[in-house]
Every structure is written in C-alpha cells, then in structure tokens.
Amino acid sequence: MIKEIEININIVGRNLNKYRDLGYKCEVGQNILININDIQKNSHVIITAICDNCKTERNISLYAYNKNYNKYNFYYCNNCKQLKIEKTNIEKYGFSRPIQNKKIRNKLEQTSLERYGNKICSKNTDIINKNKMSQISNLFKKYNFLNINNIESGNCQIFCDKNHMFDINFSLLNLRLKYKTILCTKCNPVSSTKSGLEIQFKDFILSNYNYNILYNSRSIIDPLELDIYLPELKLAFEFNGLYWHNEINKDKNYHLNKTELCEQQGIQLIHIYEDDWMYKQNIVKSIILNRLNITPNKIYARKTIIKEILDNKLVREFLNKNHIQGFVGSKIKIGLFYDNELVSLMTFGNRRVTMGKKSTNESEYELLRFCNKLNTNIVGGSSKLFNYFIDHYKPEEITTYADRSFSQGKLYETLGFKFIGKTQPNYYYIIDGLRHYRFNFRKNLLVEHGYDSNKTEHEIMLERKIFRIYDSGNLKYNFKKC
C-alpha cells in the first residue's frame, strides 16, 4: 500500500502536456501536488510504501513498488518477500532453498554431468572459453573507442591519455565504464602505506592468537577470499581498503554477500575498514581482542555504581574514545562508574529520522550507543544499564540496530530484544581517505551549494569523482515490555 495520496512533482517539459491534459494547472519549473494514480507507473519518484504483511514503512521509487506489487498483487518489503519465498520453498521442497534438497541437487548435477561433463556447468572448458570469446567480442563492440591491447584470460591492457599501459579485468572495466571513470594505476597510484596497513593488521592478529590461522583463503567461501580465518573460533577478518573496495571496484552487495556466505557456515566475519584502522586503531584492536576472548581487563558490574550523566562533554569524550561509530546526541545517558571512573555507557533517544520513521510517542525510544572502556569487559554491565532504563523510564518500545560489520546482535538478544529484520547496505562517501556518512550529502544540500537540480545525488557526486563505499547493513531489533 502507498501511504501518500498526492506527491509533489517538479514539472518539466516532457511531462507538462500530460498533466495539463489531466486537468492540472502547471508551468515548467513548478512543483505541484499530483494524485498518486495520475503518476506514470514507471516513475522513479520516491513514495512511502507500507508492507501489506508486516506494516513497516520504506521509502522506494514508484517503479520499484509497482514492480513488486504486480508480481504479488500486494506489496511485500524485502524481508517479508524473502520469508514468503522461503516458506513456499519449504512447503514444496522441504528446505528454504531448493538446492538444499538432495534429490534436486543430484538431479541438477546429473543433468549438468550428462550435458557438459561436469557437475557444475560453468566449470566446463568449452563454456569457459565461449564466455571469454563473448566477453572479448562485446568489449570491442561496446568500447572500440578505447586503445585496447593484448587480450587474454579475461584481462586486457589499456593505454591512458598519457600513453601509460595498465592491466584491467573485463568485469572491472565494465563497472568503471558504467561510472565513466577508468583510473590508470600509474597516473593514480595507490599509496604503499595501504598495503602496509594490512600487514600491520595481520601482524596484530598473529601476535595475539597462537592457534591455526588461514591467510587469504579461497576454500572457505569459494570463490571469494577471506583475508584471515580462525577455524577454532569460526571467526574471520576482512581488511577493506577504501580505494579497492569503493563502488568502482566492488558492487554494493560485495561486503554483504561475504558476510552472509560466512554466516551460512556459522562464521562471524569482522570487516575492518582502512580509515578505522588508521584513525581508530585502539578501538579496533579492543574489538578484535574481545572477539578473540582475550580482553585484558575485567570488572564485575556489581562492583560499579550506576548514574545518569548530564555532562555531554564527558559522554562525547567517552564515545569518541571507545565506540567505533563515535558520538551521537542522546536524550538519556546512563553510565557505570568504577573508582569514580566511567567504564561503561548506554545512551537512548527518540527514534532517529535517518534510521526510520521518527516516533512522536514519548515512551518509544532507540538504544543509540553502548560501549565499555577500551580493553575492558564489564561482566553484567549491559544488563545492569538496560534494566535501570526499563525500571526508571517505563518504555513501551525500544528499537536498536547492530552493525553487521562488527556484530551479530547477540548482545541485544541477551537483553530481550527480538530480531525483526535486516537493512540494506549503507553507503558512505570517500573524501580525503575518510568515509563520510551520506546524510551530509543529500541532494537538497548539494543543490543549495549550486549543483544541478536535474541530477541525482549520486550523479552529482560521481561527477565530482567522489565515490561510495558500502557496508554490510544492519540487523534491526525491537524490545516491547510484556
């Protein structure tokens, strides 16, 4: 179901006559309210879609809504759609994915074996060669303006404007041409310190873990690679350089796919982003030691004193020093003190606009931040803080999010939260070697600074050669008092 009855539309030359014929009085450049039923079904105007199953709201294009609606005769959000698919598959095949059914898998493998001589058809030599030749043919048809040389094994060599020759993979070439940017590796060298940072990171793991470590393994989530895998802990680490992991080198679901492929095998994948390692290394190291179960300091919550904190400076300093996402404004700040020192902090506020619909109900909250002092485990600390908030503020509902780059949400489940869904990957813009959150680059702000109002936020940023990098999304949790 669509929430809006009318949508504010900017009138341009191509839609002027259409809306005039429908009885609207309008001129080019005007913004007028148009009935939702009068807007073209394939329009990319943003509407608020309400899931007919779980009633959650999501901002999507009208085109995406109608594509979903026409398929199911009602609108399903991504989470409900996936649950419906899994339910249908379980009813039909006994598994959430048909390929998990041995009979179906054996039948597919047998058919592939008879036709192609291999259980997996894509590994057939003839098919591999055919795909390569097709790639080469398409490459010349589409990009004959490029000076391409020495094509072999899925790669080619390209000459840049300065006549530098560099190697590039076909799929990467396609992706970069999509964004109209082919960066010569000689004109745009990647700093040698970046590989050095990854070596530092791997050395830190090695110096703190004395058991079996697999480096750069492709056997765990084949064909993708894991930088570090610790089999005994079912724990993996990925070091994400900002250059090689931005949108011109990796698609938006790259990090999410790795995370989910690991989860399917019971492995937790921790993503370490280059700028975090450079500028928040102490926090990252503390997180790693915690995941390795060797946090050096331990304090029992029963030995701490709980207080509400009014000093925003103290809260800001503590979060910036101890939380990977840093400070965020909050309404309620509750801390644990040990020997007069703040050692654990939990903050709450009204539900944020950037994370969903802002709540007007005073008894609905969002758990915004929780962290302990670096390299310190406060045993029972999270429960003590959360129970204090429940007892003193009597919330009807609390929402929170777990960043899948670092968390599987187990803390929230321990506190009594219920898992309610997954968000799509978030994106950040890379400027001067740092990730910047998208909220500060909304189209209306860019237009205010003089950029073309007829272009999307993404188009404007691409023209500025400022690229996105995507994370693995969040896990969403909800708490309701019984």
**Domain spans in the chain, listed from the N-terminal domain onward:** 6-76, 124-178, 283-395
pLDDT category, 21, cuts 50, 70, 90? confident
pLDDT category, 192, cuts 50, 70, 90? very low
> Does residue 206 carry a pLDDT above 50?
yes
What pLDDT is attached to residue 191? Answer: 43
What pLDDT is attached to residue 9? Answer: 79
DSSP secondary structure of 406-454? T--SHHHHHHT-EEEEEPPPPEEEEETTEEEEGGGG-HHHHHHTT--TT
Q: How many helices and strands (H and E) does the chain possess?
A: 15, 23
pLDDT category, 72, cuts 50, 70, 90? low
Q: How far apart are CA 243 and CA 259, in angstroms?
A: 20
> Does residue 147 carry a pLDDT above 70?
no
Q: How far apart are CA 470 and CA 145, in angstroms?
A: 31
> Does residue 428 carry a pLDDT above 50?
yes
Range name among 36-45, 181-190, 399-408 with the lowest pLDDT average: 181-190
Range name among 163-172, 190-199, 229-238, 435-444 with the lowest pLDDT average: 190-199
> Does residue 248 carry a pLDDT above 60?
yes
Query: Residue 419 has which token pair?
Result: 């898992």
> Does residue 124 carry a pLDDT above 80?
no
Mean pLDDT of 76-94: 82
> Does residue 259 carry a pLDDT above 80?
yes
The CATH number that domain 283-395 falls under is 3.40.630.30
Mean pLDDT of 47-65: 82
> Does residue 423 carry a pLDDT above 90?
yes
Mean pLDDT of 177-186: 59
> Does residue 227 carry a pLDDT above 80?
yes
Range name among 89-98, 131-140, 373-382 with the lowest pLDDT average: 131-140
> Does residue 396 carry a pLDDT above 50?
yes
Mean pLDDT of 122-134: 75
> Does residue 275 carry a pLDDT above 90?
yes
> Does residue 264 carry a pLDDT above 90?
yes
Range name among 121-130, 265-274, 440-449, 459-468 with the lowest pLDDT average: 121-130
Non-local CB neighbours of 332 within 8 Å, separated by 6+ positions: 308, 347, 348, 349, 365, 389, 393
Upstream peptide bond of 189 is cis (omega within 30 degrees of 0): no
Range name among 147-151, 179-183, 230-234 with the lowest pLDDT average: 179-183
Q: Which amino acid is at 326?
A: G
SS3 content of the chain, % helix, strand, coil (to 5): 40, 25, 35
Mean pLDDT of 229-239: 95
461 or 131, greater pLDDT: 461
What pLDDT is attached to residue 35? Answer: 87
Mean pLDDT value across the chain:
85
- On whether the pTM is more than 0.75, the answer is no
Q: Which amino acid is at 255?
A: H
Q: How far apart are CA 204 and CA 294, in angstroms?
A: 13
Mean pLDDT of 445-454: 89
Q: Residue 416, by phi and psi: left (phi above 0), alpha (psi -120 to 50) or beta?
A: left
29 or 289, greater pLDDT: 289
> Does residue 306 carry a pLDDT above 90?
yes
What pLDDT is attached to residue 148? Answer: 63
67 or 396, greater pLDDT: 396
